[in-house]
């Protein structure tokens, strides 16, 4: 049987999505030099929604009008999860390293795999579950890498630093971001079975922005008076990791179980670690490299044993 178009396109699309979202933590670090974390989160989603608005409100007006009350409620909850995800994760980058933050927020696949049977009726195969576990172990190795070194064997005398002071708070915020993104992916998987991509992401991104904007003002943040270069970073955040990266993941949710789409997000720490080395001089050590290898192996196993891709509804 000739492979369906989604089956042929998915691997390339997901690879592009991983590359796109890998730029997020670096762009956020640059923007944080002048803007608060909540300002970055709010404007990232506001700019993304503004780009989508002309297309969604013209070409997809009929689909938006046909959204049911149930779908709108679920989209609102999904937007809330997305808002919490960005507010906590972006804030975490001000307290801990890029590698630790990205890896902890990328534990989302674990929570998605645990919750999908109850909320979606989707079960992960044993080989895919093994791949998920392998990727989580690799992610954990990257997370503790800043406190460890390898000299004639693993030494983690500074391991306590991961659970102390600012790093502890930053890591907790990143973990909270993982819990929130799990709800976002699970609801996205459910809604994408009946909703077109553009109406769905326009509603969710816009609702998340509407939640974050008042929170930004209430905490003293402002979208005005920032340096021009900061707006460049914010626009790039909206265009690359949000509209290309997140939107591609949301597209894939129509064809793949939420747990499998979530597993592919574990490629982000590797791309982020490479960019952090090139742009922020955060040098990856042996733990980071070993963890990255495990993450890649885990993604490969999970994707290979994800089962057949479901065809979209008409």
The tally of CA atoms less than 13 A away on the side-chain side of residue 309 is: 19
The per-residue pLDDT for 229 is: 96
Enumerate helices (H) and strands (E) in the chain, giving the number of each: 15, 2
Q: How many residues does the chain have?
A: 314
Q: Which two three-digit tokens encode residue 210?
A: 């509407």
The per-residue pLDDT for 214 is: 95
pTM of the model: 0.79
- Strand positions, DSSP E, the chain: 149-150, 154-155
Instruction: Quote the CA–CA distance of 288 and 311 in Å, as a whole number.
Output: 38
The per-residue pLDDT for 156 is: 56
Q: Which two three-digit tokens encode residue 304?
A: 């290979």
Pairing of strands 154-155, 149-150: antiparallel
User: Could you write out the DSSP letters of every residue in 53-94?
Assistant: HHHHHHTTHHHHHT--HHHHHHHHHHHHHHHHHHHHHHHHTT
Rounded to 5 degrees, φ, ψ at 155 are -130, 125
Instruction: Quote the CA–CA distance of 216 and 24 in Å, as a whole number.
Output: 19
Region for 68 from its dihedrals, namely left if φ exceeds 0, alpha if ψ lies in -120 to 50, beta otherwise = beta
**pLDDT digit of tens for each residue in the chain (314 aa)?**
444 556 668 778 888 898 898 888 789 888 988 999 899 999 999 999 999 999 999 999 999 999 999 999 999 999 999 999 988 987 887 787 766 776 677 777 778 877 877 777 777 677 777 877 787 777 667 666 655 555 545 555 544 555 555 777 888 888 899 899 889 999 998 999 889 999 999 999 999 999 999 999 998 989 999 999 999 999 999 999 999 999 999 998 888 888 778 777 777 767 777 777 777 676 666 767 777 778 777 776 766 655 444 433 33
Q: Which two three-digit tokens encode residue 282?
A: 């955060």
Burial class (CB in 10 A: 0-12, 13-18, 19+), 42: buried
Instruction: Quote the CA–CA distance of 19 and 171 in Å, as a whole number.
Output: 23
C-alpha of 20 from chain center: 10
């Amino acid at each position: 049987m000739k492979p369906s178009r989604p089956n042929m396109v998915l691997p390339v699309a997901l690879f592009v999505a991983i590359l796109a979202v890998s730029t997020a933590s670096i762009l956020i670090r640059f923007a944080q030099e002048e803007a608060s974390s909540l300002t970055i989160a709010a404007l990232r989603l506001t700019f993304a929604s503004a780009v989508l608005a002309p297309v969604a409100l013209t070409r997809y007006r009929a689909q938006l009008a046909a959204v049911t009350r149930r779908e709108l409620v679920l989209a609102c909850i999904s937007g809330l999860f997305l808002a919490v995800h960005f507010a906590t994760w972006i804030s975490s980058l001000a307290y801990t390293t890029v590698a630790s933050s990205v890896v902890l927020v990328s534990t989302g696949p674990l929570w998605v795999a645990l919750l999908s049977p109850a909320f979606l009726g989707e079960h992960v195969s044993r080989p895919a579950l093994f791949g998920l576990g392998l990727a989580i172990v690799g992610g954990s190795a990257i997370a503790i890498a800043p406190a460890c070194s390898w000299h004639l064997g693993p030494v983690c005398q500074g391991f306590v630093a991961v659970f102390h002071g600012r790093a502890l708070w930053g890591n907790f915020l990143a973990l909270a971001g993982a819990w929130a993104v799990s709800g976002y992916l699970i609801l996205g998987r459910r809604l994408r079975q009946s909703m077109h991509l553009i109406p769905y992401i326009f509603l969710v991104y816009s609702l998340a922005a509407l939640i974050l904007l008042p929170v930004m003002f209430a905490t003293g943040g402002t979208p005005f008076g920032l340096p021009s270069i900061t707006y460049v970073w914010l626009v790039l955040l909206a265009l690359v990791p949000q509209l290309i990266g997140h939107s591609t993941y949301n597209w894939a949710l129509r064809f793949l179980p939420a747990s499998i789409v979530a597993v592919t997000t574990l490629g982000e720490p590797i791309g982020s670690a490479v960019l952090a080395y090139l742009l922020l001089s955060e040098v990856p050590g042996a733990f980071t490299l070993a963890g990255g290898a495990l993450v890649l192996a885990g993604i490969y196993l999970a994707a290979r044993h994800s089962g057949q891709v479901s065809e979209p509804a008409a």
